[in-house]
Structure 1
Amino acid sequence: MRRRAHAAFLGLITLTLLGVPGCADENVNPVEPGTTTTTDPPRDGVALAGLEGDVEVVVDDRGVPHIYATTLHDAAMVQGYLMARDRFPQMEMLRRNVTGRLAEFLGALAPEALQADIAARTIGFKRIADRIYDELPAGDPTRVAVDAFAAGVSVYMQEVRDGKQALPDGADLLTALLLSKPQVFTDWTPQDSLAIGRFLSHTLSYDADYKVHLTTMAAVAAATFPAGDPRAGIFRDFYSFATARNVYSRDGFPNVDTDGGTRALLPDGRDPASAPQKRPGPPPPAPPLPALDVLTSAKGFFDIAGRLSGRFGDEFRGSNNWVVSGDKTASGAPLLANDPHLSLPSPPLFWYAHLNTTRAGGDLNVQGLALVGVPGVLLGYNDHIAWGATTAGHDVTDVYEETITEGQGGAADTVLFDGKQVAIEVVTETIQVADQDDVVIELERVPHHGLIVPTVVDGKIVPRTSTKALSVRWTGDDPSGEISAFLGLDFAKDVAEAQAALEHFEVGAQSFVVIDRAGDIFWSTQSRVPVRAEAAMTWDPETGTGLSPAMVLPGDGSAEWIGTLDDRYLPHDLNPERGYIATANNDLVGVTADGNPFNDPHYISYGYDPGHRIARITERLEELTAAGGVTPEDMRRLQGDQQSPLGRLLAPSFVEAAARAAEERATPGTHSDLATLVTAASAEDLDALAAAAARLSAWTSYDTPTGVDIGDGAPPASEVEDSIAAMIFNMSTLQLVPLAFGDESTALGAHPGSAAIASVLQWAILTPQQLATFDPDLGDTVLWDDLATPDTESRDERIVRAMLQAVAALRDRLGADMAGWQWGRLHTIRFASQVPMLAGGSPVTLPTEDDPEFPGGFPRPGDNFGVDAANPGMWDSDPFDYGSGAVQRVVVEMTPDGPRAWNALPGGQHFDPESPHHADEAEHWRRNEAPEMYFTDEAVQAHEESRLVFIPGG
């Protein structure tokens, strides 16, 4: 078996493996983990062309590189080189996905590569990256960092092209391509990093596809269930703007009561304090919804774009974070916790890094997570502050219906805007395809809005033929400085400097939480949030009429962006009296409390997490802070909270329905709505139903442990019992959703996502009167009734039928003995490699598909909408595996002497499956453990595994 540079880096680096001129064996001083090195490193080292001074790197026993440089340039350059050595196959595939260069690599080997390229080129991550880079002044720290990082990556890539570095197992396809066409392995560019950063912003803020879907479903629902039909309010129920739990991060917008609720700055910078938000009197009549053929013409493109954005997460991408004041903690120092929820590939999307220039008198000493392919630290801590982020969900995308007039005599087609005809621009993209002709695509762009969504058929763009089309305006189409914001945080010395750094953050709104040594706790949702014209804000959820930014708007100029919401109105807090701040992708200030987010002092968004996570986090923080003496261990336990929110709310109703079925069995005719179902069921099935209900009745903790041995021995009996109850509840819910709502979804041609349908299920069971489909004569929502049957099915009939189906499904899968129905047998996670193989499963995947201990993946606790994100989904989740979750579980205590931090990654630092740091972090993560990180010089030296010096030259 060949030796690999990744393994060599862990203390076995040699001249021949590095293959770099000027190297010597003395470059590395291997030491045993846990020992210290007192001798100074030698002057000789690995030569990197462009380096300004010596850089020392100490790698600790968790594979974390501690980079000690004299300048930001050198720290970023070595960071690029080392990240490439650890993650090159992943980085190469990611940048090609983002910049639309997969087909150049794969060609006929993977026809879907061209589709991905079309999506990336249409959205234009590379185009906007070019514009961002061109606007960076020479000497600007961000430009210095991205230039140096790119240079460091490119040095490693040259070594790969020269055959001086061998790619590891799991990169076999790249190795084959490298041998056949090394010329396509082009150097890394600063724009590649900027494009990856904008791609992340896109996945967290661009929702044009969902707005088109909402508009489509509104039109389909109106046609399928017209006025007078018992289900006429189904769109309002299925796509409600209300949240399931009314728990908010603060009570209302800041500054509204003190300054009269000024809405925004106008484009010229003036403050329109005298302009009312709403014109007196009824709103003007809204134009009709776009025709269905216009809406459905966008589906083909959004399908391929969705597959691209899925690399960073599914419908459950999100995050938790919270901070606790030192007044409430055991140490008197503030605490921070953050667990972002994105996709969980192997290796992870993030890479540990520690950048330090303080030995040379610099100001940089930061540690945390770097996004793969991007310099600096995205989430982390330095000597003075710590910060975390969750998606805030501000609405920064609008879709417009354009009316197009064909150009005459070779003139460009035009759109109608403010009563004038405006010429459509053409953007040309040339996609290189391996061993085939280039593919040239011409994209149409409306100057004042953005690109027209192309019509995609069978993965290819076809010419537009309609005089109606949809265009998308997204704040991310304009240059902005998110990487500058993060670099500013890397250097910030207190909350005030962190706030100043966040002024650069405009796209992909985040709820940033910050703590500092002075004891301050701070929260900001800094972002550029457009203010829409009054005509765009007339939606009435009760009647389903009017316009809103949540759906397609007219493109004629009547519903435009008229300014940017002033920062003082964005949700934020500093040292609130309650002593903590928490966010979890929730409604931050209560704009959805009345089901209408368009009628508040400011409009910031329409779509939020259902609120179960923030409700549980707030409940626990209230308990902890009331008791006082909060510890880092308390924070870690809360991150691992596995209580089932739906189980807590709905399982008692399942028990009650089963009890009614038992009464009907004992005394036929007691409950007529259950008579047919109970009569048809076998005695064995009804006995199993009663046993399942008994387990749910005993499930008072609503915890969801795996109930299986995860490598630490047999779990306690109480955990096994809770695990079985969790399995019964989740399998019953999985059966109930299509039983209750599958008929209407089929009629509509689509079903709501998991979050939306979970809210409908909750309301239908607990508070049906709040649903638009509530029938006073029935005393319930008509949604329980199956459209396909002549009978009128009731709530309890549907629940009991779902439980019977669940028992049968579990019996078939796990055996007749209910004692063997542990949740962890089906609820699992597998970290899949995102680098394609020539054939077979990837050895990079964790656990591998042939893993003898965990062939189905790692057993995991948690279920839908819990704090410890482990969402299998509400529709087709069998066998309850999941793909998005915590990409870190960091807790930081900011002491007067600096930070103490604990963390774990879902995977490891290295791509190479033979590296000891390929899977070591996953062992902590899957057990919900988070060992302490090494930040101080003393801690790093005590855990040193290898040492390397880089010097100018090469």
Structure 2
Amino acid sequence: MKKIGIIIGSLILLVLVGLLAFIYLHSPQYKGELNLEGLNSEVEVLFDEFGVPHIYAENEEDAYQALGYVHAQDRLFQLEMMRRVGTGSLAELLGPDLVEIDKFFRTLGVPNHAIESTSSWNNQPNSPWKSATEAYIKGVNQFIQEGKLPVEYTLLGATPREFTVNDVHGIMGYMSFTFAMGVKTDPLISKMARELAPEYLEVLSLQTLPTHHFIPNHYPDSLANEVSAENSLISMLGKLPVPALEGSNSWVIAGSKTKSGKVLFLNDTHIGFSSPSVWYEAHIEYPGYSYYGNHLAGMPFGLVGHSKNHSIGLTMFENDDQDFFEIKTNPTNPNSYLIGDVSYPFQSRIETIKVKGEADQTLEIRSTIHGPILNEVVPEIAALTSNPVASWWVYMQEPTKALEATYKLNHAKSMQDVAGAASLIHAPGLNIMYGDSSGNIAWWAAAKLPIRSEKVHSKIFADGSDNETLPKGWYPFTDNPQSVNPITGYVISANNQPDTMRNGILFPGYYYPGDRYQRIANTLETRNDWDTESIKSLQLETVNTTHPKNVKQLIQAVNMDEFEDFREVLERLGNWDGDHNLKDIEPTLYYKWLYHTLRLSMEDELGESAFSTYLETFLMIRSTENFLASEQNPWWDNTDTPEIESKSVIVSLAFAQSLEELNSQLGSNWKDWNWEKAIISEHPHPLGSQKPLDKIFNVKTEPLKANAEGINKLAFKLNGDGIYRVTSGPAMRIILDFEDVEKSVSVLPTGQSGNRFSKHYRDQSRMYVKGRYRSQLMNRNVILNNSGEPLILKPIETSKAK
């Protein structure tokens, strides 16, 4: 027995030693010394208590090479996923289940556009942004070649290929796609327009309604001349191993309304939950430059960030930048199409998709002057028409200048510099938010806005055979929506409709109704002494004031005689203030009731798949209030029955079904239907869909105060199960007071590192759930007190000499 015990003990020891060795071989290195070829001077990297690198270099190129190295060691697999989506090569790494994703992005043209942007980049003369980008890429590749690769590669039996500027352009293409709502929404709206009477569309908000909240413009003359269901697309995109950018809030408050008399800046970008979360923070210092940035994987420059003199934030503009044209094939030659009486040949190219474990697949991509034909990769389009449907997308119209623009945003010295950088962004549409130490506040809608033909409805397929339907040109950037130092003392963007442009045009888009905007604006008006502490409660607020209005419409319509036993719960619901506290029962009942009301109203006309798509679009969010308020809404009638159902009939049926399901789900006592019992909060990893890897890589949290269109927007999809999985939320929460930039705060949903064996993989997750913040450090003395031993990156030549 003694010998058996020794053997077992030895085996356990061997397993532990092997496990420790395995962890060591796949863990990031946060201290010590490394030799990097190509450095001009030694670089010091201090990692603070949350794993944020503070990079101190003697010159710009060394700083960005160091950034590339440390970014890769913490986020290489995330970078891998991002670049493979953008270059249409997921199946090569993850297998045949991802072929349809690769086909979609290749057909849309994202990888091909990356190649065109790279060609344009290579033909450009040397510039600071070019040398900084190349230094960053050099650092990434040095980690790939010499660093401890993350464990995901071991599990997949793969090794990463070299990182290139083409990968950067592919990543930008994917980011641009996540902002493009047209391909997710326009096929559904076109289906409605073709199959239903006009009154069905009239009750929906295809365009912004007068009751919605508009972002006011303020054009300063001083800047005007200085800046130039299962088988559905949404179901398929659910397989993407990277998060989508969903929306965002940002508001900037002038010194006239703050306690310090200085600008107060806030930003929280709304992005799909993932592990790791999307933003990687890094602080860079070299002579003449100091910047704290939030970086996408594979991006050398922060899309959001601040120096000690200016701050840059982002939200989605939500402008409509994609149109669809139904093509008329030449009846005498199927290889050509007609515009008027003129015949044009379809353009065609063949691409090869590498598939892990299987033979390569070939893909033929056909296109017209309007753009690529999407029928074979978008099931909703194929189901709607047998005619070719082409996509015209602003992003595809010219090479991206995103690297130049983001470099200039990071290195800006003035408000004019930021406006000039914003003018370089042609797509995706971004709201650039700005504040500075001089007291300026501003917002610019950055995008090239097409001049559409009057014959084109921006959300319904246009006639591609009409030569007058293609866009006619571009509006000048100086006409774009913007507000610079408005008299209100604040600028706000919450993905809602900007007011008419300087030229009087109300530009169409996929804007949200403005609940978040109005809530922020109303709150800011209540005082003139805002500071970091007092503004936190607003950034964390989960109230939606539209939901109580919707509830009252439902209660007024329900047949009370049928539900006498539930009069008390209806009274309580009728007094709801729209908050989403975890112990509240109101959200639990409201969302279930709303889902069944919409389902019973719309599924008979749309079908199950299209109705499921409707629930994931901006259209549902901004149409619901008007939908419920309309007594003559044609959707109320169930077309599958001989009777003509009224609003009261449908709402009462939905309430009865909701009560039955909640009784089964949460018990017969409605006072126990707490919101926290209906919420699941999890940040999924690309490999976490496979058990037991979900237990290793996914980050589960306590229930969140999930809500729809609260300022602290934690989104989920309506469904019949009554269990709501939070799919997106603030990807950081930044608050910065220019009274003392070094005391700015933020928080990430999971952690700074994407490496499972890093202590920073999920060390902010509880802080995020509880609404707490941590500092964005820029003061070297404070950083030294909040960090361990430094990581020293040495030039190889210096190391050899020693």
On whether the aligned pair clears a TM of 0.5, the verdict is yes
> Shift in Å at residue 480 of structure 1?
2.2
Q: Distance in 2 between matches of 1:436 and 1:742?
A: 39
Tell which deviates more after alignment, 821-830 or 422-431: 422-431
Mapped pair 1:208 → 2:183: yes
Gaps of at least 5 residues in structure 2 are 1-18, 798-802
User: Quick check: 1:221–1:748 contact (8 Å CA) kept in 2?
Assistant: no
1:586 aligned partner: 496
Q: Does 1:194 align with 2:169?
A: yes
Asked if 1:423 is matched to 2:410, the reply is: no
Matches within 5 A, 1:715-734: 723-734=584-595
Aligned to 1:693: 570
| Conserved 8 A contact 1:343-1:885 | yes
Q: Quick one: distance in 2 between partners of 1:306 and 1:243?
A: 29
Letter in 1 for 2:88: G
The match for 2:141 is 154
In 2: Cα distance, 1:58 partner to 1:747 partner: 54
Does residue 452 (structure 1) correspond to residue 295 (structure 2)? The answer is: no
Question: Aligned letter for 2:547?
Answer: G
Q: Map Cα deviations across residues 217-264 of structure 1 (whole Å, 9 max, x no partner).
A: 211114xxxxxxxxx51123245323484211106x8599xx9xxxxx
Amino acid of the structure 2 residue aligned with 1:159: E
Paired with 2:37 and 2:232, the residues of 1 have a C-alpha distance of: 43
Quote the offset at 1:789 in angstroms. 4.4
Show CA shifts across 1:64-107 (max 9, x none).
0011122332222211211111122222222222212222224x
- Residue 878 of structure 1 aligns to which amino acid in structure 2? G
Per-residue deviation, residues 579-634 of structure 1 (Å, max 9, x unmatched)? 1111111111169xxxxxxx9932522421122222222222222xxx21011223
| Match for residue 906 of structure 1 among 749, 754, 765 | 749
Aligned to 2:731: 887
Task: State the one-letter code of the partner of 1:175.
Answer: T
How many pairs are equivalent?
768
Change (3 A) 1:783 1:126: closer
Alignment-mate amino acid for residue 312 of structure 1: P
SS in 2 for 1:375: coil
Counterpart-to-counterpart distance in 1, 2:27 and 2:322: 47
Corresponding residue number in structure 2 for 1:645: 545
**Residue 71 to residue 402, structure 1, CA distance change in 2 (3 Å):** farther
Paired residues of 2:51 and 2:752 also in contact (CA < 8 A): yes
Asked whether the equivalents of residues 300 and 457 of structure 1 are also in contact (C-alpha less than 8 Å), the reply is: no
Contact in 2 for aligned 1:511/1:523 (Cα 8 Å): yes
Provide the rounded CA distance (Å) in 1 between the counterparts of 2:274 and 2:329: 43
1:840: how far off?
Answer: 2.2
2:83 is the alignment partner of 1:117:
no
SS in 1 for 2:150: coil
**Which residue in the other structure is 1:323 paired with?**
252
Question: 1:621 is matched with which residue: 524, 528, 540?
Answer: 524
Distance 1:498 1:747, change over 3 A: closer
- Percent identical across equivalent pairs? 22
Match of 1:104 in 2: 92
For residue 626 of structure 2, what is the aligned residue in structure 1? 763
Counterparts in 2 of 1:370-519, with a 5 A limit? 370-405=295-330, 413-417=335-339, 419-446=341-368, 448-456=369-377, 468-477=387-396, 478-519=398-439
Aligned partners of 2:441 and 2:699: how far apart in 1? 39
TM-score normalised according to structure 2 size: 0.88
| Aligned-partner residue type, residue 419 of structure 2 | Q
After superposition, the C-alpha distances for 1:629-661 in whole angstroms (9 at most, x for unaligned) are 011223321111111334321233445556x61
User: Which residue is equivalent to 1:743?
Assistant: 604
- State how far apart, in whole Å, the 2-side matches of 1:764 and 1:636 are: 34
In structure 1, stretches of 5+ residues that fail to align are 14-27, 29-44, 223-231, 260-264, 270-298, 537-546, 592-598, 665-677, 679-684, 708-722, 769-773, 775-779, 849-856
Residue in structure 2 matching 1:634, options 529, 534, 539 = 534
Note closer, same or farther for the CA distance 1:63–1:255 as it changes in structure 2 (3 Å cut). Answer: closer
CA RMSD, Structure 1 to Structure 2 (Å): 3.3
CA distance in 2, matches of 1:302, 1:653: 33
In our comparison, the structure showing a higher alpha carbon Rg is: 1
What SS does structure 2 have at the residue aligned with 1:696?
Answer: helix
Structure 2 Cα separation of the partners of residues 530 and 159 of structure 1: 47
Please name the residue that 1:312 is paired with: 243
Q: Which position in structure 2 is the counterpart of 1:66?
A: 54
Determine the C-alpha separation between the residues in 2 that align with 1:201 and 1:704. 32
Looking at structure 1, the residues matched to 490 and 626 of structure 2 have their Cα atoms a distance apart, in angstroms, of: 30
Corresponding residue of 1:952: 795
> Which secondary structure does the structure 2 equivalent of 1:67 belong to?
strand
Letter in 2 for 1:143: K
2:344 and 2:215 map into 1 onto residues whose CA distance is 44
Structure 2: how far apart are the matches of 1:9 and 1:310? 22
Partner amino acid, structure 1, of 2:127: D
Q: Which residue of 2 is the match for residue 833 of structure 1?
A: 685
2:679–2:725 contact (8 Å) kept in structure 1: yes
Determine helix, strand or coil for the equivalent of 1:561. coil
Cα deviation, 1:284-339, whole Å, max 9, x if unaligned, reads xxxxxxxxxxxxxxx9895687447784338xx11111111011100111111111
Q: What pairs with 1:294-313 in structure 2 (closer than 5 Å)?
A: 302=233, 306-307=237-238, 311-313=242-244
Q: Distance in 2 between matches of 1:255 and 1:337?
A: 23
| Cross-structure match for 1:139 | 126
> 2:26 touches 2:150 (CA, 8 Å); kept in 1?
no
Deviation at 1:111, TM superposition (A): 2.0
Shift in Å, 1:924: 1.4
Residue by residue over 1:924-953, the C-alpha shift from the partner in whole angstroms, topping out at 9 and shown as x without a partner, is 111122222211212212211341111122
Matched residue, 1:337? 266
Match of 2:756, SS state, is coil
Give the direction of change, closer, same or farther, for the CA distance of 1:812–1:940 in structure 2 (3 Å limit): same
CA shift in 2, pair 1:441/1:692, >3 Å: same
Q: Check if 1:527 corresponds to 2:444.
A: no
Partner SS, residue 530 of structure 1: coil
The 8 Å contact of residues 77 and 148 in structure 1, kept in 2 or not, is answered as: yes
What amino acid is the match of 1:318? G
- Distance change >3 Å, CA 572–CA 424, structure 1 → 2: same
Offset of residue 56 of structure 1: 0.7
| Residues 303/638 of structure 1: CA separation in 2 closer, same or farther (3 Å cut) | closer
Cα distance in 2, alignment partners of residues 616 and 333 from structure 1: 23
Q: Deviations over 1:561-595 (max 9, x none)?
A: 2221012211101110011111111111169xxxx
Distance change >3 Å, CA 899–CA 395, structure 1 → 2: farther
SS at structure 2 position matched to 1:82:
helix
- Whether the 8 Å CA contact 1:531–1:603 is kept in 2: the answer is no
Question: Which position in structure 2 is the counterpart of 1:286?
Answer: none
Cα deviations by residue, 1:131-169 (Å, 9 ceiling, x for unpaired): 222323242233223322222111111236xxxx2533x
Q: Is the 8 A contact 2:335 2:345 kept in 1?
A: yes
* Among 739, 750, 761, the residue aligned to 1:918: 761
Deviations 1:505-545 (A, max 9, x none): 11111111100110000110021111123443xxxxxxxxx
Q: Give me the TM-score of the superposition, normalised by structure 1.
A: 0.75
Shift of 1:786: 3.4
Distance change (3 Å), C-alpha of 1:705 and 1:947? same
Shift of 1:5: 4.9
Query: Residue 847 and residue 548 in structure 1: after superposition, are their counterparts in 2 closer, same or farther (change >3 A)?
Result: closer
1:221 partner letter: L
CA contact (8 A) 2:748 2:764 kept: yes
Cα deviation 1:418-476 (Å, max 9, x = unaligned)? 65333332222122223433222221232x332222525999x9xxx97x422222121
Deviations 1:811-839 (A, max 9, x none): 22222233322111112321011235765
Q: Is the 8 A contact 1:244 1:610 kept in 2?
A: no
Contact 1:301 1:453 (8 Å CA) reproduced: no
- CA distance, structure 2, for counterparts of residue 440 and residue 348 of structure 1: 34
Contact 2:548/2:574 (8 A) holds in 1: no
2: CA distance, partners of 1:630 / 1:639? 12
For residues 642 and 393 of structure 2, the distance between their equivalents in structure 1, rounded to whole angstroms, comes to: 48
What does residue 213 of structure 2 align with?
Answer: 247
Note if 1:799 corresponds to 2:651: yes
